[in-house]
Structure 1
Amino acid sequence: MLQGMRAGIQGWLGWALIVIISIPFALWGIQEYLSPSRDIAIAEVNGVEISNQSFEQAFDQQKRQLRNMMQQADLSFMDAQIRQDTLNRLIEQEILLQTAADHGMRIGDMMLAQRIHQFPMFQQTGMFSQPLYEQALRTQGMNPTGFEFEMRRSLLTTQLQDGITNTAFVSPAEVTNRMQLEKQQRSVSYLTIPTSRFVDKVSIDDAEINKYYQEHPDSYKTPEQVSIEYIELSQADLANTQNISEDTLKAQYQERLASFTTSGQWQAKHILIEVPTDATADKVTEAEKKATDILGKIKSKEKTFDEMAKEFSSDTSNKDKGGDLGWFGEGFMVKPFEDAVKAMKVGDLSDKPVKTQFGFHLIQLVDAKPTVTKPFEAVREELLKKVQQEEAEQAFYAHAEQMADLAFENPNSLQAIADTLKLPIKTTDLFAKTVVAEKDSFLSNQKVIEAAFSPQVLDNRYNSEVLELDKPQHIAVIRLKEHKPAQLRPLEEVKADITTQLKQDKGRKEAEKLGGELLAALQKGENPDALFKKYELQAQPAQWIERQNTTLGHPDIVREAFKMGHPADKQALYQGIALNNGDYALIILLAVKAGEMPNIVTATNGTADNAQPTENPELERLKTQAKRALGDTVFKQLLAEMKVSANIVVHQNRLVERTQ
């Protein structure tokens, strides 16, 4: 049949069919060229898109930080708010970047390098290490180009913000006002009406219990639980399975000989007779003669090398140390200087002045360390682990790709992965979404928990996508084994809990009711002592407190006390407040006094006769705080104005779609 078709399309009809068929493919190709598929934009700022990929990465990072801060495993109830906050932050960052660029601000390569070199995780023995830098980025799924791009953007926005906040100016009057407010003191008394006073007196009937049970079913449900099957793959496990032959190890030793070799080092002194780059021939000859004369005096022992260095050397960085350059390695000095040192023996003095682009040097070799290469036997174990690690890394990425393909092609089972990669299928017991697992266990990873309760795994019962776990080069695929839905516990089982809750609620209402009655009576002018005695309540003795007071024992009372006004004509002010523990408190504000300014000068340095005043550090702290607060306010105002002026388009529907 195929042969017949081939024979039938040899003429003009065949060519016409080919042209007709080709047109749709050609148009499709042009369309792809003109409008290539792009990452969906979540928002645009002045025409610059914020990609969904950037947004999701920022969202995940923000969620991880919040989870660590709050020590709470499940933050899904906050997803919508975290997404909105993340989007606002990305929009503001883009506005700042555009503003900085419009004003000609740039981050130079030198500044970028200096900042990166300061990160401790990129340092080895206190010095920046390029291999360590690349390895650290690799473990985070990043590369130097991408990291340096983000670092440059971050430094640019920080530079712009610092340029605004650090130029804020505060007057002495503003510092005084801040001090008086910050150090303000208030004379406060309070009494507490405990909920426990009423709990035993209230009665709860079955109708109330049943009503509460019906209205709050979610409070008395067993948590939804699942158990999962999973296969995990780690580079660390693969490294232990790599068999490396002795011949391979020896070949690798030869290839990496440089890494097992410690280059030679030298300690030398020098006397530099500087020659400017634009010096005439006569000046060069004059400098060389001067160096030769100094060399002659040293050789004749008329003066020592150190003495001549202190007197004649142009190198001010070491002339006072007798020209001592300290230890240096290969490639540290300019080539003519290094070549001369390599040809010398310890204690030698250069036979003649050595000419470099800086001038003429007289050199004395103080000490030397030879080049040392570690033998194969000394580095065998270290080399074996390194080669195993490298082989495991290659195997890991190959296996990871296979795992992803097999999980997708066989969505209803992990068996294909297990058979192909020779990995065991593991299982877990039932667990809830808020499980608190043992540290570093499989269920301690939040990505596993989120995937286990995701629609793909829980509802559709498919394999999960490949999950990148917290440890580097450690991945897993999971699937549902068993699902136990949340169930309402029987009323008899939770009746005691509901009774306790209802008593607490009624007791709290009674405490608030009595507190409200007392507050109204006090505000009408009734005598506090008589009123409190009538209800068998005792106010705490008054004490002067500041805003940061901790001795009172009730932060809520302190905060509320500093929101109240100022008592007039020695008439106390009263305020009621429900405390976090369920009790009710009446706050009695008796007096307010402004904070005192510290002395401009404090203890002096030196003796009484020649003492020099020093500025009070407390005052300096206040000035810094006031300046920072004002600078932050100005920056936020300017940023708000920038946002108003910017053309911002938010694709809210895409944000909502990702939230659902």
Structure 2
Amino acid sequence: MFESIRKHTKIAMFLLFLLIIPSFVLVGIDRNYFSSSSPVVARVDGHDITQADWDNAHKMESDRRRAEQPNMDAKLLDTPEARYATLERMVRDRVLQVAAQKMHMVTSDSRLARSLQEIPQIAALKKPDGSIDTEAYRALVAPQGMTPEGFEAAMRRDLAVGQVLAGVMGSSFASTAQAGATLDALFQRREVQTVVFKPADFAAKVQPTDEDLQAYYKANPALFQQAEQAAVEYVVLDLESLRASITLNEDDLRTYYKENVDRLAGKEERRASHILITASKDAAPADRDKAKARAEELLAQVRKAPASFAEVAKKNSQDPGSAAQGGDLNFFARGAMVKPFEEAAYALKKGEISDVVETDFGYHVILLTDIKSPRKPSFEELRPSMEAELKQQQAQRKFAEVAETFSNSVYEQSDSLQPVADKLKLKIQTAKGVARTPMPGLPGPLTNAKFLEALFSADALENKRNTEAVEFGPSQMVAGRVVEYTPARTRAFDEVQAQVRQRYVAEKSAELARKEGEAKRAAWSQNAGGATGLSAPVMVARDKPQNLPRPVVDAIMSVGADALPAWTGVDLGPQGYVVAKVNSIAPGEAPEAGMAAQRHQQYAQWWSNAEGMAYYETLKTRFKVQFKVPRPTASIAEK
């Protein structure tokens, strides 16, 4: 049968065509027929956001964040919380886009043009005639995968969306009385006395048995884990390693000496005197012409009698710093004077007088009085510095050439680092006790999160293959391999018995301190006269915690003002239990006028943001926002 079909392919295709097409005509083609469906994760105004949309948006956001912060740990961008934050931003953008459409928010051409001009990179493209350099503009937006037209359309859309909340937030205001009521409570002061029940004071009362320690050890295995570790070897390609492998040719070194001895010897210095007739660059043209004419008169005078230059400068120069010295400016090198003056002085021979030189200060007549040429050091004197300079230059060029060779070699010969080390004359280095997280005291590459992630990848651990070449700094690359791997394990009780006892005693001591503190607080609340050990009274405020821990300050400021004195207690765990007595309440210190205005402005901003968020929540309800995936809950460790 199949042989028959092969011989009559065209006929078979025609018959299949007749059978399949009518079924589409009668039944229709499902819109998902040609595409795989993706689960819906959120819905805004009846429009779906799919899992694929979410994944793509999060990838783009992660790429953007990594580009902005290259040293960021990539794992931070892939947590459930980070991914959900991306979904919430997507929903927010959709809500505001729908609101802008339904409210007919539009961006005028003039508003768009003004906003574009506010972007420094675009403003820099303006030509003298006021138009924008089109090609440069196109090149500017191209890395974003956009054309100028697409960029402007996105900008127009963003401006329209921005108007949705701007109307609410821009019209928000906070009266002085309103701000005062809130800020007075925020900066309120309270007189308090405290006493700390320290766990250390109760440690002697804790006498654990072997059974107690064994039970604690079994109940808390995570506390006695030995982290996974690896012994690794690695090779580093950097300028230092390349510089060490470079041997300089003697002829090249001598040629370099001949070409650079003047530069290496130092700068030539010149000594000059001048006569200055001042004329501000902003002065009227007539005034500048008058000053120039005066300078030309003096030039003619000193050219007739060069020996009189100093005397003429003393009587006529308007430079207060040099006139008294006959115009002498002492020695100066290139870069010390304004450009026109410098060029004129360095064009003269010793004893020559310049033409009139115009600068922003006015008009100068310059006499070159001396030239100090630096001594040219010998070849042997400069050899060390020339060798260092040449090796640095060659190392930089060589790095650009061999970086690709380094990357390819560690990948193509992945079972050993020896080939790349031999090829590029690199040293194989070793380290023990390397963990997934950077540890203090280890060399630079072993503190790089990206390199450690590569070392502890499944391929590197299971197959003992080389990692990829990882760039861990400017002109610095590293590749490594795991030689020996020790997985994480719970250490035996005998290994950690002292640690088990220490932890057990610390926890029980903290528990006893808490119980004693709670009992004393309850008793003193009934009979304040029996309170002992309280500190001297101090005034505490949120901005002046008086070295008290933040939880204690929060508890003190939360005590009601209706019945004073009042008592509160805070469990600080290993730091003990704090009992605090609130004696009285006082208003906050009156701020200076500038600080008061700043606080009011900050409060107004808070209020504006709050109104913006409230309006956004209203829009979410109006446009029937639905999240189809639950918000991730924080782990116990995070709490």
CA distance in 1 between partners of 2:204 and 2:281 (Å): 98
Picking from 180, 184, 193, the partner of 1:189 is 193
Partner of 1:412: 415
CA distance in 2 between partners of 1:176 and 1:87 (Å): 37
SS in 2 for 1:56: helix
Query: How is 1:229-308 mapped onto 2 (pairs within 5 angstroms)?
Result: 229-256=233-260, 259-260=263-264, 262-263=267-268, 265=270, 267=272, 268-271=274-277, 290-294=294-298, 304-308=312-316
**Structure 2 gap segments, 5+ residues each:** 1-52, 97-110, 126-139, 145-171, 620-628, 630-639
Picking from 538, 555, 578, the partner of 1:543 is 538
Picking from 88, 103, 119, the partner of 1:106 is 119
Alpha carbon RMSD of aligned pairs, Å?
5.7
Q: Which amino acid aligns with 1:586?
A: V
Partner of 1:586: 579
The answer to whether structure 1 residue 463 and structure 2 residue 466 are counterparts is yes
CA deviation string 1:600-647 (max 9, x = no partner): xxxxxxxxxxxxxxxxxxx266247526745864896799799999xx
Query: How is 1:14-413 mapped onto 2 (pairs within 5 angstroms)?
Result: 50=60, 53-63=63-73, 80=79, 102=115, 104-107=117-120, 184-195=188-199, 201=205, 209-256=213-260, 259-260=263-264, 262-263=267-268, 265=270, 267=272, 268-271=274-277, 290-294=294-298, 304-310=312-318, 327=332, 329=334, 338-339=343-344, 342-343=347-348, 345-346=350-351, 354=356, 361=363, 363-365=365-367, 367-370=369-372, 372=374, 374-375=376-377, 377=379, 378-413=381-416
Cα contact 2:340–2:357 (8 A) shared by 1: no
Partner of 2:12: none
Partner of 1:566: 561
Picking from 581, 590, 595, the partner of 1:622 is 595
Partner of 1:575: 568
SS in 2 for 1:247: helix
CA deviation string 1:418-447 (max 9, x = no partner): 343343433333444457453646645555
Query: How is 1:625-644 mapped onto 2 (pairs within 5 angstroms)?
Result: 625-626=598-599, 629-630=602-603, 633=606
CA distance in 1 between partners of 2:501 and 2:281 (Å): 96
CA distance in 2 between partners of 1:170 and 1:475 (Å): 56
Q: 1:307 to 1:528 in 2, by over 3 A?
A: same
Picking from 462, 471, 486, the partner of 2:488 is 486
Q: Which amino acid aligns with 2:465?
A: Y
| Superposed displacement of residue 561, structure 1 | 1.7
Partner of 1:33: none
SS in 2 for 1:238: helix
CA distance in 1 between partners of 2:556 and 2:593 (Å): 28
Query: How is 1:466-545 mapped onto 2 (pairs within 5 angstroms)?
Result: 466-470=469-473, 472-495=474-497, 497-520=499-522, 526-530=526-530, 532=531, 538-545=533-540
CA distance in 2 between partners of 1:628 and 1:554 (Å): 29
Q: Which amino acid aligns with 1:228?
A: V
CA deviation string 1:234-276 (max 9, x = no partner): 3213223322222212322344466346355454333267999
Percent identity over the alignment is 20
SS in 2 for 1:562: helix
| Superposed displacement of residue 560, structure 1 | 2.7
| Superposed displacement of residue 111, structure 1 | 9.7
**Which of 555-564 and 459-468 deviates more?**
555-564
CA distance in 2 between partners of 1:474 and 1:415 (Å): 19
| Superposed displacement of residue 230, structure 1 | 2.0
Q: 1:344 to 1:188 in 2, by over 3 A?
A: same
**Structure 1 gap segments, 5+ residues each:** 1-39, 64-74, 113-144, 150-167, 599-618, 646-651, 653-660
Q: 1:185 to 1:540 in 2, by over 3 A?
A: same
Q: 1:53 to 1:255 in 2, by over 3 A?
A: farther
Q: 1:276 to 1:582 in 2, by over 3 A?
A: closer
TM-score, normalisation: structure 2: 0.60
Q: 1:557 to 1:295 in 2, by over 3 A?
A: same
Q: 1:266 to 1:582 in 2, by over 3 A?
A: closer
CA distance in 2 between partners of 1:642 and 1:374 (Å): 76
Cα contact 1:263–1:330 (8 A) shared by 2: no
| Superposed displacement of residue 229, structure 1 | 2.1
Q: 1:637 to 1:255 in 2, by over 3 A?
A: farther
CA distance in 1 between partners of 2:175 and 2:325 (Å): 49
Partner of 1:35: none
| Superposed displacement of residue 490, structure 1 | 2.4
Number of residue-to-residue matches in the alignment: 502
Cα contact 2:228–2:487 (8 A) shared by 1: yes
| Superposed displacement of residue 590, structure 1 | 0.8
Partner of 2:47: none
CA distance in 2 between partners of 1:83 and 1:390 (Å): 44
**Which of 327-336 and 583-592 deviates more?**
327-336
CA distance in 1 between partners of 2:77 and 2:359 (Å): 65
TM-score, normalisation: structure 1: 0.59
| Superposed displacement of residue 214, structure 1 | 3.6
**Which of 98-107 and 552-561 deviates more?**
98-107
Q: 1:278 to 1:309 in 2, by over 3 A?
A: closer
Cα contact 1:291–1:361 (8 A) shared by 2: yes
